[in-house]
Amino acid sequence: MTHRELGSRVLLVTGGARGIGRAVAESAAERGWAVGVNYRVREDAASELVERLRERGTRAISVRADVSDERDVAHLFDETERALGPITAVVNNAGIVAPIGHLADMGADRLRRMVEVNVLGALLVARETARRLSTARGGPGGALVNISSIASRLGSPEEYVDYAASKGAIDALTLGLGRELAREGVRVNAVRPGLIDTEIHRDSGSGDRAHRLGQHTPMGRPGTAAEVAATVLWLLSDEASYVTASIVDVSGGR
């Protein structure tokens, strides 16, 4: 076993109280990671998850932070490291979606918040990760996995072009930062989920969207959060040691 396999691995998951983030936290705990769970409004869900992980013997903490606020992001990293030790991996998962509609009908407040959370928030988390993990800055090295979306490739016309555009930024961030940190001990990759059966579809006003559209994918069904988490955990692992600046689709062939 490597040193990290013996218990020094610390993972921070933003937006970890539900959906894909929650599945990543649970899967990481099963593999021996200590886990920091970030949330913004779902304190009950985050606390319940952390309690469950602790009952299984996992070192875990939940921390409230709005990723679009740089002071909150610094606090999030500080509190996680204070409780669990140096962070060695980050899953940049926090994001929002809004009701389905046409771009021409979307107000500036909606567009601004989409960019603040999905783009600025992801950049701030990635920046803090680079500052703390880069071996050139005295960090331990490690891995960052950004959660993008197949929407970045499909564009999501007549649904949420704003969300798709924000995820296109995540793809560019992954390619650029992955190459920037490649010689500084930090691997940066992204996962692009397709139609995944999570609560996020309710936020768009179409709770049955994953099942309704999933039957038309090449695999004939929606994916699960656990299936996305499995890919994320592989990218965090030593098995992906030569993988960086890469984007992996988990979309059932869509």
Active site residues: 163
Q: Are the beta carbons of 149 and 164 closer than 8 angstroms? A: yes
Question: Position 169: which residue type?
Answer: A
CA of residue 33 relative to chain centroid, distance: 16
Our CA dihedral for 58, 227, 48, 190, rounded to 10 degrees, sits at: 80
Q: Which of 172, 164, 217 is nearest to 195 (CA)?
A: 217
d(CA 95, CA 12): 15
Q: Are the beta carbons of 148 and 178 closer than 8 angstroms? A: no
Phi/psi at 243 (nearest 5 deg)?
A: -115, 115
What does the radius of gyration of the chain's CA atoms come to, in whole angstroms?
17
Q: For residues 160-184, b (16+ Cβ closer than 10 Å) or e, as one string?
A: bbbbbbbbbbbbebbbebbeebeee
**8 CB contacts (<8 Å, ≥6 apart)?**
85, 86, 88
**Cα-based angle 211, 217, 222 (whole degrees, multiple of 5):** 35
The full length of the chain comes to 254
